[in-house]
Structure 1
Amino acid sequence: VRNRDWRWRALLWHFLMWTTVDAQTRYSIPEELKQGSVVGNLAKDLSLGLSEIFERKLRVASEAGKQYFSVDAGKGELLVSDRIDREALCGQSANCVLPLQVVVENPLQLHRIEVEIRDINDNVPRFQTQEIKIKIPESVAVGTRFPLESAEDPDVGSNSLKTYTLMKNEYFSLKFKEAKNGKTVPELMLEKSLDREKMSTHQLLLTGLDGGNPIKSGTCKILINVLDNNDNVPIFNEKEYVVSLKENSTKGTFVVRVKAADADEGVNSEIKYSFGSRTPETVLSTFEINEQTGQIVLKGALDYEAFTSYLIDITAKDKGVPEMEGHCQLQLDIEDVNDNAPEIVLTSKPSPVREDASHGTVVALIKVKDIDSGNNSKITLQLPNGLPFSLKPSFSNNYALVTSGALDRENTSEYNIEITATDAGFPPLSSKKMISVSITDVNDNPPVFSQSAYNVYLKENGVAGSILYSVSASDLDTGENAKVSYSIVDSKVHDVSVSSYVYVNSENGSIFSMHSFDYEKVKVFRVQVEAKDQGSPSLSSNATVHVFILDQNDNAPAVIYPSPHAASHLRVPRSAKAGHLLTKVTAVDADSGHNAWISYKVAEATDASLFTINLYTGEVRTKRAVYEHDDSSQKLIVEVKDDGEPVQSATVTLSILLEDGVSEPVLELRHKASEPGKKGGRITLYLIVALASVSVLSLLTLLVLGVKCMKSSTSGATCCVRRTLSDDDKKPNRNLHIQLNTDGPIKYVEVLGGDVMSQSHSFRSCMSPMSEYSDFTLVKPSSTTDFKEVISVLDASLPDSTWTFESQQVSATLVCTQGELRAFHLIAISTFPLFLFN
């Protein structure tokens, strides 16, 4: 606590004496000096008289915490007051400097001095184990290397470990390998083939020498056992694995997985992993290895200050007789964890700042410090994002808090500025300081809407004058500057002013409809609302209200074919079988969604057992074969209903005549084709030629349509999408019509069952006598700019997951160009029948 008080007082004096030029003095002494040894003459180096030392109360404070030095007040000398062990203070660091603060009073001055602690050769190289045991097969090749244990010397520089020597012998020599951590690793290399029968053991002596004067050394005995038989050594995938771990890694953290392979078979190839036999206890207590998988995990705590790295020998042994083993090394580097947070000192209290203060106005003065060293003491100051303040560096970790942007009292009348000081350590440590700054007022705030855009959904056929929505804007100013009025910004909807659709209450922002809306005429429009305050000059802002008209089931299905206004008779041969197709009833609904899903049923029939209609497609077929006693004149009333609520419906009457002698073209064609002879062959040829001609004409027609579409687009780049419906979703949506619309930035896709002739262009093509469906509908194009948005709205508009039927194909093709999107809807295209004749 006393040391900490001295630090605070020294830092405070340093802060108060900004105008004082700090004297920088550096001494250099060897470690292990006796107590009372003279480091240097402070009085002379600081230009102080001996009388001033006592009168001005000169004292020395160590920033390291422990007091290693004192001052002789009579001589003005700096003395050693405690044992200084360089290795304990600085470890393996090349430079070891103790910073000191010299404080004198009257007048108050702060001087910083540094004492460099030089290393002396007071440590000998030391091996962790006194004896290294190595097992080497007699069949090992000459030149094979075996890693040896490295010696450790706490000294640095020339006093550290320099080299190794090996006792002279004819079988082995000493080689060296440079590890990535800069250390030299000794290796034993085989110079001559081993013969177990001649010599089964070898004893060698390894000596580690430092570079001190005099030289100091340490020794280690090497005992080599020569093994017989099993002649394949497990080989690791890598000779050296390099891994780094954070100092604060928790127990169980995965380190690395080593992998070795043995070329032998059976038990001779089964491998067990372990740490080397000479692995120190510090490694064994910190790490563990799975002997089966080779996975190494952390089982103890890491301490960067104790060990900055580990060089671990890993052994892979097979289960042969004798055992063969391979070696690799794991270099594990420990990443330091920063453990001292920076400190922020406020040197002046902030004064209130005007809202219109210019950039660079000084608000407060601060100072930062960090008792760590190196990158861990490098401090970065940071302010929260979005504040109109910044930090301007001054000198020696001093900063000024200044304005850097426009201030707004109505938005923030007082800023609680949290200054964060973060050091450059890993992980970085930080501290925070809160500074409160008051802002004086200036009128400068426009009204602000609660939302920049509103979506309003309104049912069609509503009552005129009903409220659609209420927008709200607030103004952070006070008095007249905060009073807001609302108005509609004039714009066009279908070439009509938007004010003819809606109006807004100027006081409360409520938007009312001017009349009832019809979904079939207006589906969506946009309203721009302006909010203006009463200030001088007045300020304003706009918000967009998107009004979507929701469809109601107010349109009954309309029968397109057969025409309900024109009388027609259907002729059916009495030879017709069950399933014979009479006609297809086609209807549309001007509504959309479920309201436009159409279903068909027989409401009334002369003979209910004779005819049936498909619920979804409207195909009228015979339920059974026509009997001779059936009435020649049949009447069928078909009811067409939508899926809305309440249900809307329409009916159409079919008059059917049962006649003899009416033949089916396809049956006759097949009958004639089955007749043998030259005439049948000619008919076959004619049919093939006709079929090919029709196919060519169809392709030419599609090609012409494609060329016209491309010419009408503004760009040559097109994109297409095609989807089909599945059999699982046989809903009454067989009369779908896709309408793509846009209103400025509002884009949507409408799936309708409405009046095709009012929404699109319809064509009918007779593709063959047996075609069940032949409607082709081309929906009129609408402009859009975002194809992906169209597809997403299309997916949201249809309840079905996919679009495919069992007996028909329904597809939607969207062709988009730059600035234009065209939609095509192909309804119920049946497969063109193809007849092959032998």
Structure 2
Amino acid sequence: MVHFTDPVHGSGEEEETIEIIINIIDMNDNEPVFEQTSYVGEVAESSPKGTTVIRVKATDADEPGYYYSIVKYTILSQEPKLPSDHMFVINTVNGAIMVEDAGLDRETYPEYTLEIQAADLRGEGLTGKTKVVLKVTDSNDNAPVFTESTYRGSVDENAVGVQVVKLSVTDKDEQNTPAWNAKFKIISGDPEKLFSIETGSNKQEGIIKTAQGLDFEKSRTHTLSVIVENDVPFAIQMTTSTATVVVTVKDINEPPVFKDQQMFVQKPEELPVNSVITNCEAKDPDFAHKNTVKYKIGSDPAGWLNVDENTGLVTVKRLMDRESAFVKNDTYTALIIAYEDGVVPATGTGTLSITLEDVNDNPPFIEERNITVCRDDSTPVLLTVTDKDGPRHSAPYNVMVHEISKPNWSVQMNRDKTGVELVLNSNVLSGTYPVILRVSDTDGLEQDYSIQAEVCNCVENERVCAPLRNSLGVVQGVVGGILLLSGLYYCT
């Protein structure tokens, strides 16, 4: 602000005030400055054109919005200049660096260095520079390749889970990454799934094993086609590598095989000695070996069977018994061995199950051997009847008292004809008496059975002999001696 006075007419005082505004015009005296002196970024080798990799930024201290501060970016240089010298391009306005050309290959050119310039005056003025280092990262752009086109292996027939052959591959991608790790697949030649394939621990081997036993007589060679890929999909379209695997099956001496591994027959248990039970048949599966098949008993717990060494004919050696402890659920089980007469004999096993038909060969019997009968109680004593035969040849039972025991005893079957009710008919002296009963089954097969019946004065409400009275000790001793001589035992 400026003040003015009139030196001629005035009094020396200020007469007028004038305000003067001075505008300072900006000059381009500041160059652009990058926020970082250098930048580091990554770019995947499979990145397509237009992929933004990194963004750089420079600022200008001159007046904002004026062309002195408007910055434009350019790439001054690229190292290496391969596979082309325009692998990248920069957005001149925002500083975004993008992929421009195809051919990024980490395995060949793992790193690029770009020199970037920022210039004001819309690219015509003062300049600033920075360096950008771009590291090329791995992508799955290299397919694994088999080191051989054909692999060969061999394996014994019938061997399961054994290694047949190893297939090796190479891969140019970064080691020990999903893009480098190999995985294998059998694509043809194995319709029955006889083989399996897995990746070895080093991730560059395919290991083929047998998943089932191979049969030399059915096929002596197997030709497989195998492809190899990676743990992750290919980044670009590529052709997979294929190998042929030829597996040779080696013949071994196999044991004879029964026509029926499980043989079932049904025979009556009373089948006579030397009767035919069945004819076992086994064959040697080896075509290359001319061995004779022979037979022998492998397991015959009761010793009931014979087998003809040359024909496999199984016959009865000893009478069989359905009620034997060796028979389970009416079935007797034996093992028959078929073997060959080769230098190193091989054996096969067949199971013979004989279902024994029940015959009435066991009379019923009474389980109780000793009973107590009360002299003053007419309640019947219930006896249990058992028959080892099956239900067709057992109950209902019949019972009668033997002539010897009839004077003093009577007997009848209980209501369901499965138990015997024995009753003392006469008043006999206390003592032990044999009671002979004749029991028969539903087919009339009978047997006499002797029971020792102790007759005595019982404790009230219990079938237990009362204790001896001391006052009668002498008499009891004399009577006991007499009865002992007559074969009877008694108590009072």
The structure that has the greater radius of gyration is 2
TM-score band, normalised by the shorter chain?
A: 0.3 to 0.5
Larger proportion of helix: 1
- TM-score of the superposed pair, with normalisation by structure 1: 0.29
